[in-house]
Each structure stands twice: as structure tokens, then as C-alpha cells.
Amino acid sequence: MSSSNNNITFSVVIPVYNGAATILRALASVVNQRYNPHQIIVVDDASTDNTCQLIKDKYGDTITLICKSINEGSGAARNDGMNVATGSHIAFLDADDIWHKYKLQVMADVLISKQDIVLLYHDYTLNDVSKSLVPHELLVDKVSFGRLLVGNLIATPCMIIKNNAKWRYEPSMRYTEDYDLCLRITYYHSAYYLPVQLTGLSRAITTPGGISSNKWAMRKGELNAYARLAQLNKSFILLIPILWAWSLAKHVIKLVNDASSPSQ
């Protein structure tokens, strides 16, 4: 793999709320990257535990730490981090997840080879991410806006976007704000997908313990993301009812499957 390239620099943005139990582990996976991050930004969303103090004690001024006094949600927290990001690209990580040590190296290699990429994402694993195999040949697939309309394929801790003030999370959204952002980006620029597991999630998406565990709130967030498509193109007003029906059908099917599954 190539060595550090000054044209590709990563500002890593990590929102955290009451993450004292996991934030240092997440940060260690960033600090220990084989491709050095240009900037690490942690935005504490008004935690009531000692998250901020832990980070200050461990890293001092080597990490940009924003400690908010009002909890506004992860989307607004990420925006705060993005607003001070100076790297060519922004990489996202959640406070309870970790990266493979070659994550930024692999992403940089892809971005160096395809300079026009605006959104790049990869797979995740629920197992030990350090055991994920990184192929020597990195093959990426283009993902269209239409493909993403069917459902969200992109986990936030797996995505990197080009640093541009145009791309920000909708601060009023507390759920699926990542899907909303990805839809807006892919309307103008195709996303690119790398089938390599480079992020280790602490839990499966929508399982208890995280913000995504509230399944109905997540579904309403998806409905809201679809409604906001009319801001991209007024002709989408005709498509939105179909997307709503599709979203609600997925929700009902999921409920039926969950109800029929044997209890653990």
C-alpha cells in the first residue's frame, strides 16, 4: 500500500454522548492508524459523565475537543466537528466503534486512484475487525442515487466524504440523518462502495443500546428523509408516496418477522 499522500488528508469526526466507557478505545483505533489522520475532532454532546475529562487527561491538546453545553443530537454534533475540519476529506466514527488499523490507508489509496469520489464507504463487522483481511487489489463499485433510494446501505462509521461546506447533516433530524445526507450527496454524485470490513461495530444496527434501537423512530426518520427529497427536485413529490409505502411495508414485514422469530 502507498505511503501517506499530502493530497489526501483526513479530519476524523467523532460525536459522543456519555461515552466514557468506550471513547478511549475508539480514539486509540484512530490514533494507531497506519495512515496518520490529519485531525481528530471529538464533539461531546453535553455528556453528564466524565467523557470530556477522560479525553483531556489522555490526549490534551493533541485532539480537538468540543464540549457542548446543550444536547442537540449526533447530526448537529457532527456538523460542529465538520465546521472546524481542515482535511481534504472527513471520516466519521462513533464513540463505541473502532477501525481496522489500515482503514485510512485503504481509503486513501482508493481516493488517490479516483480523485472525483465525493462519498466512499465500506463494510463493517460485528466480530474482531483486526482480523479482517485487506486485499492487495482494491475494487470499488459505483452506487447510484436510485439504488440508495431502496434503502440505506451506508453505516456512518464506514463512510468518508469530501470536505465541502455544502454537505452537512440536517440538525433537526435525530434519526436517519445519515441517510438523508447520503441521499443528498448521491443525487449529485454517485457513491462508491469498497467490499472490505474496516469498521468494527459494537452492536448490530437497530439492536438495544444505541440511538438506532428505536425502530419506529428510525422508520419515521426514513419517511422524513424521503419527504425532504422534494427539496432536491420538485418532481420527487410524485415519487414520495411510493417511497413512503415501501418504507412502511418494510416496517410491517420486519415486525412480522420479529414476532415469528423464536425468542432468544
Give CA angle at 70 (205, 225), nearest 5°. 40
Mean pLDDT of 200-212: 63
Is 5 inside a domain boundary?
no
Residues 66 and 157 reside in one and the same domain: yes
Q: How confident is the model at residue 214 (pLDDT cuts 50, 70, 90)?
A: confident
Residues 57 and 77 reside in one and the same domain: yes
Residues 66 and 191 reside in one and the same domain: yes
pTM for the complete prediction? Answer: 0.91
Neighbours of 16 (CB within 10 A): 27
Over 50: is that where the pLDDT of 88 sits?
yes
Mean pLDDT of 195-200: 97
Q: Which residue has the cell 433510494?
A: 149
Q: Domain total for the chain? A: 2
Over 80: is that where the pLDDT of 210 sits?
no
Which of 15-24, 215-224, 248-257 tops mean pLDDT? 15-24
The per-residue pLDDT for 262 is 66
- Beta strands (DSSP E) in the chain are 10-16, 39-44, 64-67, 89-92, 98-99, 119-125, 141-143, 159-162, 191-200
Over 50: is that where the pLDDT of 188 sits?
yes
Containing structural domain, residue 126: 10-205
Lowest mean pLDDT among 146-150, 175-179, 214-218: 214-218
Residues 102 and 224 reside in one and the same domain: no
Q: Is the separation of the CB atoms in 158 and 123 below 8 Å?
A: yes
Residues 69 and 199 reside in one and the same domain: yes
The residue among 205, 229, 250 that closes a domain is 205
The per-residue pLDDT for 1 is 38
H-run or E-run covering 182:
helix 177-188
Average pLDDT, the chain: 92
Lowest mean pLDDT among 100-109, 114-123, 209-218: 209-218
* pLDDT above 90 coverage of the chain, percent: 85
